């Protein structure tokens, strides 16, 4: 209810603030009998962690996961998987600049208004550090759904965007560059742009596209819990996300029905896929694809005017080591959230027929 | 779980198929003591109902709501509000064309795959007729939240789109034309376009923008249940929706942090509002605004190739009276879903502080 | 959340007040493809309905169910089953005696305190009339779980109680007498007792025992959602219930471990069954049995002192036609709630293994 | 869904197996701004921990809680409280006697049947060690509800039971003896009984009674989520519990309405309290009291026949250090679960009126 749980049957609850002792979570409802590759989980964590390349934040957080329960002799047991990621980087810092002052386009002000009391260190609960727990759970969901292929990649940075349909991309190239764009030429352009922006002490937005392949027909519930509605919520719950579209998306709103309809092949597949693999909220066996818009990171290394708790106007300049562009590190988070949605709906779909 | 309930504290569960005896729902958790204006509820229904103007479907459904419980002496009592809308238009028709044949870009195929058995008449549960129940509940949520202003309007039809920011529009004009666009010139263009498309036996997509004003600071839960994540899910759960963006949306992904950050005024309001009234998932007191993309209606009055249950290729032409463009009638649905989200989060926010 | 929904996967939400237009509900999550015997549902309703024998209330309520959705061509479709039971007996009565006055050991006072406004007619939402909706849903759950045998019966009325273990009873005799006690001699004693009590204008309590046979091994979730915990909640949610025990129950608290332990047979069954068919919250394949205590009905035909809204002491005598003993009519309700629990846990158990 | 979460607004999710690295949990929805006394939490843990007296298990587990999040500068912040209790006692033991063999009246057999794979060490997830996490959360709930008095005590051990109504007891004496019975004479008898039973290598059951005082009027939701139904579920979810009754309980089933009805005083309180402080599922401001039956611990130090995984009959004798009677250590668990129910319903009740 208070918003720290995702999913209903395959269910993740997370805890933890940016600069607290530890962050972590509990995965409840993960089926029994899944052999887990713990190294793969750590690799997913490494894709998200700070300091992994020259174009992301240079903070050092090893983000090592400790599992406390739910796994025995290498396999899930069906009971909750508790885990924690201890913060190793908890030096006592000077937070006076954010204790009393609200950073523009951050959650400081609304947290104070809503709760009356907040852990201001590093953004506390509103920090994207929380997403590390999602990556842990997503990695387990991926192993549960080993037949489904989940590939996210950066599709734009600022005005630079991929101009090919995803079918022409080689997803094996996504990890070949620090931007996580599977088109090497575009990746180079994007990387140069991010370096330039960082020099300016500024930040820039971008988009991530995600493709889900080999999803069985029938996932998704009609009416309120349509598959794309839950995918949309999952993505919109990631820090800095401003929009979500699937299939034809906003372009589809400009089209005619005679152009947009996907004509069937005899086997139930469709000749085109403007629907994006989902009809009436239910997967139809075609590729599911969607895009997610991320705003530029709000912490910039430039001087900005803002207010403090007393409503006084003050000057503020970003401190610390922040990402000039969030999308490269957000790719595994998008994949993790997609995996969580699919795992949940996969289990739910087991209960539909007698 | 099976997807027919929306909300957690202010909670709507719906039932009913397009051509069944009745559709309806139960609103659980509506607070006690709200004086209800039942005429206003019917007016909202009339904004959604078929046959209201020349540019929408000419089906006749009076959509009269019968309330069964939860209202006593004109006021809510805090117990569930049960209601039904009886179908008056249940003549025995010939459904043979959709009984065995899957309409392109409809849910017929996936329902059969998922459930193995479906009410094929008029699309059954996948029909947008279900949204009438949402409008009933939304109208009650609006009355509960009488201080909040909820205004949706058509912002584009096909390639024709509003070019003014919403602040320059007069929402009083929205209902002055059948398109529900508050810019009379654009409305005339859009109406002409829809008439043209209908003559072609085709359909066309569009977008709806919604503005929520006077929302108190503090609504929304951090992490998974961010206010915009739930608004996004609510909108994506409406039939034919392909995308959702709020605040700067997909445009924001092209911007720099120095352009995008909203600088505070001394009173906590902001000079700009690219954030769209929500920071870190929590309302900040500024206007909340978002856009929703609708694909063109899949039923067209042109011949299309499709398949039947046996996987044979067959020809099919749309029958019946369908909307050439869904957005004019979807305006009250968008408002209703927004009202349901706000009502739920408003109640939840009462439990945050001791 | 507001308490009018039971279950998570097989989920019933009810609405309706005693003297409103209709009561009813929505069953969401009932699997697709179940052939429903609607006559059997009505028969279950008839076991609960008033006026069925000389020892229950003589009110006349036909309690005919109208199904609105979710059933097509005689089978469930997997979408919500909406239903209503219209009140035919809504003559305009004089309720002045309960409008301003709080009946002792009724919910009138607490409803007023909690909600500030209540439908006082016939007890409104607090009336046991609501349980008719449970019987509808339970009858569908029984048909879904056709392999499981669910038998409840009256095991005591006042001080008169069955002295045989359930294994010595013939459940076919339960419906052979108006008390619903499968031991004809005891049934006769109980019936005489109820007639005597009614003549005194008084009421009397009793207990119901329920036996669930052929339940598959493995139903129930560890920790908070143990099978017997949910059965207990289900029973305690029935009007007038004061206690629940399963297996050895309160007697078990007096025993030693060496007496209480159930020793295994080679096939996993046990020689004794003090556990009551559940170990660690999970069904073990043995018979599940439990008992439910019902207090005497609070409405008596004797003069009692009570208070009105203004806190003044007033005299009050019960009016209307009430049950002198509630247990005969509560037998189908106990069975219905047990069926709902089993249906929910049966579906949930499908998601436990990969 | 998978049963490891309790509550809806004030919500506890737990993880951990008896002999894993750690057990713990996440409390989500605890309101912001509560000043927490961490020493009091540890004191509650000490009331539950093994080795605290001569009549409980002599295992040594310090049960020290580490809090990871949600508390800042001594106060709750409204975000999740993550915590863990590390197992310090994890010596590598010989579990061969329970790895392949099913202990009578334990959950070993059903876990294997349900999950196909289990952590057999010390009972794994089915061990009552999990309840330590409940005591942590309950201690926080108690501090949130500081105006409400929650007093549980042992009311019987085997055949020895308290014969006074709770009003004649001094709850300050509960902690004065290792049995946790506030009647010193009865406590001495019970203690002697437990010592005798332990010498026999046997175990014995008992009951706990709990009294909730100063509960505000209006807690509890009508119909399925009646306050006593949730209290019942909470208690039945505790290991070894076989029954629950509140107010007049099973005795009430023998009474007449004219004896059982609680007559009002002018101020809304009642002259008697057979209702047990709850009417129609809603607290009425009178004391709430209930009793909980615990079976004898299944692990006895006597030889028993049982089966192994292959269905072979084998001899088995309990090993390790177990409780001869569970009720003394279960007193704080009963209180904790009661506190969790009240905290949840207290928050929920804030949303009932406009």
Find the mean pLDDT for residues C165-175. Answer: 97
Distance from CA of C264 to the nearest CA of B (A): 38
CATH number of the domain at B98, please: 3.60.150.10
- Assess contact for A347 and A29: CB atoms under 8 A: yes
Averaged confidence pLDDT in chain B = 94
Contact status of A113 with chain D (Cβ, < 8 Å): no
Contact status of D301 with chain C (Cβ, < 8 Å): no
Cα separation of the two ends of chain A: 30
By CA distance, what is A29's nearest residue in C?
Answer: C352
Find the mean pLDDT for residues A141-147. Answer: 98
- Assess contact for A118 and A111: CB atoms under 8 A: yes
Of B32, B351, B354, the CB nearest to D33: B354
Token pair of A268 as six digits: 């139930």
Q: What's the pLDDT score for residue C92?
A: 59
Q: Which chain B residues contact residue C16 at CB under 8 A? A: 68-69, 80, 82
Contact status of D281 with chain B (Cβ, < 8 Å): no
Of C3, C13, C117, the CB nearest to B77: C117
Q: What is the pLDDT along chain D (354 residues), one digit of tens a residue?
A: 689 999 999 999 999 999 999 999 999 999 999 999 999 999 999 999 988 988 888 888 888 999 999 999 999 999 999 999 998 866 656 677 778 899 999 999 999 999 998 899 888 999 999 999 999 999 999 999 999 999 999 999 999 999 999 999 999 999 999 999 999 999 999 999 999 999 999 999 999 999 999 999 999 998 999 999 999 999 999 999 999 999 999 999 999 999 999 999 999 999 999 999 999 999 999 999 999 999 999 999 999 999 998 989 999 887 777 899 999 999 999 999 999 999 999 999 999 987
By CA distance, what is C80's nearest residue in B?
Answer: B15
Find the mean pLDDT for residues A230-257. Answer: 98
Mutation to test the D interface, candidates C261, C283, C301, most D Cβ within 10 Å:
C261
Checking if the pLDDT of C93 tops 80, the result is no
By CA distance, what is A79's nearest residue in D?
Answer: D125
Q: What's the pLDDT score for residue B94?
A: 67
Find the mean pLDDT for residues B137-162. Answer: 98
Q: Which chain B residues contact residue A125 at CB under 8 A? A: 222-223
Are A1 and D29 an interchain contact pair (Cβ–Cβ within 8 Å)?
A: yes
Q: What's the pLDDT score for residue C91?
A: 62
- Assess contact for A240 and A293: CB atoms under 8 A: no
Q: What's the pLDDT score for residue A105?
A: 94
- Is beta strand D65-67 parallel, antiparallel or unpaired with respect to D206-213? unpaired
Find the mean pLDDT for residues C32-61. Answer: 92
Q: Residue B290 belongs to what H/E stretch?
A: strand B288-294
Q: What's the pLDDT score for residue D94?
A: 67
pLDDT in tens, B106-126: 999 999 999 998 899 888 999
Of D20, D73, D79, the CB nearest to A69: D20
Q: What's the pLDDT score for residue B1?
A: 64
Find the mean pLDDT for residues A307-323. Answer: 86
Q: What's the pLDDT score for residue B60?
A: 81
DSSP codes of every residue in C272-293: --TTTTEETTEE-SSPEEEEEE
Taking only residues 182 to 211 of chain C, the set having a beta carbon closer than 8 angstroms to any beta carbon of chain A reads none
What residue ranges in chain A does DSSP mark as E strands? 5-6, 11-15, 22-28, 65-67, 71-72, 75-76, 81-86, 101-102, 149-157, 160-161, 206-213, 241-246, 278-279, 282-283, 288-294, 303-308, 313-317
Query: Which chains have 3 or more CB–CB distances shorter than 8 Å to chain B?
Result: A, C, D
- Assess contact for A39 and D46: CB atoms under 8 A: no
- Block residue for tokens 């306050």: D227
Q: What's the pLDDT score for residue A243?
A: 98
Find the mean pLDDT for residues C250-266. Answer: 97
Checking if the pLDDT of A244 tops 80, the result is yes
Sheet of strand C22-28, all strands in order from the earlier edge strand to the far edge: C5-6, C11-15, C22-28, C81-86, C65-67
Checking if the pLDDT of C150 tops 90, the result is yes
pLDDT tier for residue A214 given thresholds of 50, 70 and 90: very high
Of A8, A13, A15, the CB nearest to D68: A15
Find the mean pLDDT for residues A198-218. Answer: 97
Q: Residue B313 belongs to what H/E stretch?
A: strand B313-317
Task: Provide the domain limits for residue C102.
Answer: 5-353
| pLDDT over 70 percentage in chain C | 98
Contact status of D67 with chain C (Cβ, < 8 Å): no
> Distance (Å, rounded) from C-alpha C122 to C-alpha B48?
37
Cα–Cα distances (Å) from C237 to C3, C134, C247, C338, in that order, read 10, 11, 20, 12
Of B33, B351, B353, the CB nearest to D353: B33
Pick the most confident of B119-128, C20-29, C91-100: C20-29
Checking if the pLDDT of B148 tops 70, the result is yes
- Assess contact for C46 and C152: CB atoms under 8 A: no
Checking if the pLDDT of C120 tops 70, the result is yes
> Distance (Å, rounded) from C-alpha D264 to C-alpha B340?
41
Of D68, D78, D81, the CB nearest to A115: D78
pLDDT tier for residue A58 given thresholds of 50, 70 and 90: confident
Are B158 and A256 an interchain contact pair (Cβ–Cβ within 8 Å)?
A: yes
Q: What's the pLDDT score for residue D141?
A: 98
Contact status of A116 with chain C (Cβ, < 8 Å): no
- Block residue for tokens 């290991």: D239
pLDDT in tens, B15-42: 999 999 999 999 999 999 999 999 999 9
HSE toward the beta carbon, residue A119, CA cutoff 13 A: 27
Considering its fold, how many domains does chain A have in total? 1
> Distance (Å, rounded) from C-alpha A145 to C-alpha A141?
6
Q: What's the pLDDT score for residue C110?
A: 95
Checking if the pLDDT of C78 tops 80, the result is yes
pLDDT tier for residue B286 given thresholds of 50, 70 and 90: very high
What angle do the packed helices C131-144 and C38-48 form, to 10 degrees? Answer: 140
Find the mean pLDDT for residues C143-154. Answer: 98
Which residues on neighbouring strands pair with residue A84, listed in sequence order? A24, A66
Token pair of B191 as six digits: 């109406």
Find the mean pLDDT for residues C42-49. Answer: 95
Q: What's the pLDDT score for residue D98?
A: 77
Checking if the pLDDT of C318 tops 90, the result is no
Taken as a whole, chain D contains a residue count of: 354
- Assess contact for D219 and C172: CB atoms under 8 A: no
Q: Which residue has the higher pLDDT, B97 or B282?
A: B282
Checking if the pLDDT of C1 tops 70, the result is no
The ipTM, to two decimals, is 0.97
Checking if the pLDDT of B347 tops 90, the result is yes
Taking only residues 136 to 175 of chain B, the set having a beta carbon closer than 8 angstroms to any beta carbon of chain C reads none
Q: Residue B331 belongs to what H/E stretch?
A: helix B327-349
Find the mean pLDDT for residues C127-139. Answer: 96
């Amino acid at each position: 209810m208070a918003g720290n749980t995702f999913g209903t049957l395959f269910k993740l609850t997370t805890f933890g603030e940016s600069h607290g002792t530890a962050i972590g979570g509990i995965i409840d409802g993960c089926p029994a009998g899944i052999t887990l590759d713990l190294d793969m989980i750590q690799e997913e964590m490494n894709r998200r962690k700070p300091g992994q390349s020259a174009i992301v934040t240079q903070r050092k957080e090893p983000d090592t996961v400790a599992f406390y329960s739910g796994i025995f002799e290498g396999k899930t047991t069906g009971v909750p998987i508790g885990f924690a990621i201890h913060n190793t980087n908890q030096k006592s810092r000077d937070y006076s600049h954010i204790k009393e002052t609200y950073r523009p386009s951050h959650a400081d002000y609304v947290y104070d208004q809503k709760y009356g009391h907040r852990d201001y260190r590093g953004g506390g609960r509103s920090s994207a550090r929380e997403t590390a727990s999602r990556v842990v759970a997503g990695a387990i969901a991926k192993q549960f759904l080993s037949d489904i292929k989940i590939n996210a990649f950066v599709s734009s940075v600022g005005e630079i965007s991929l101009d090919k349909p995803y079918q022409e991309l080689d997803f094996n190239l996504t990890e070949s560059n620090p931007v996580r764009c599977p088109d090497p030429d575009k990746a180079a352009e994007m990387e140069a742009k991010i370096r330039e922006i960082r020099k300016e002490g500024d930040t820039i937005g971008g988009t991530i596209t995600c493709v889900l392949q080999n999803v069985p027909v029938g996932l998704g519930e009609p009416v309120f819990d349509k598959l794309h509605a839950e995918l949309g919520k999952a993505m919109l719950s990631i820090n800095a996300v401003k929009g979500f579209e699937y299939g034809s998306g906003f372009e589809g709103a400009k089209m005619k029905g005679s152009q947009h309809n996907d004509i069937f092949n005899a086997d139930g597949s469709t000749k085109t896929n403007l629907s994006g693999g989902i009809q009436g909220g239910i997967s139809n066996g075609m590729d599911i694809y969607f895009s997610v818009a991320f705003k530029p990171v709000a912490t910039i290394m430039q001087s900005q005017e803002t207010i403090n708790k007393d409503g006084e106007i003050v000057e503020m300049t970003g401190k610390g080591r922040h990402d000039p562009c969030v999308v490269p590190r957000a790719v595994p988070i998008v994949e993790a959230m997609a995996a969580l949605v699919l795992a949940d709906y996969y289990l739910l779909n087991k209960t539909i027929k007698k």
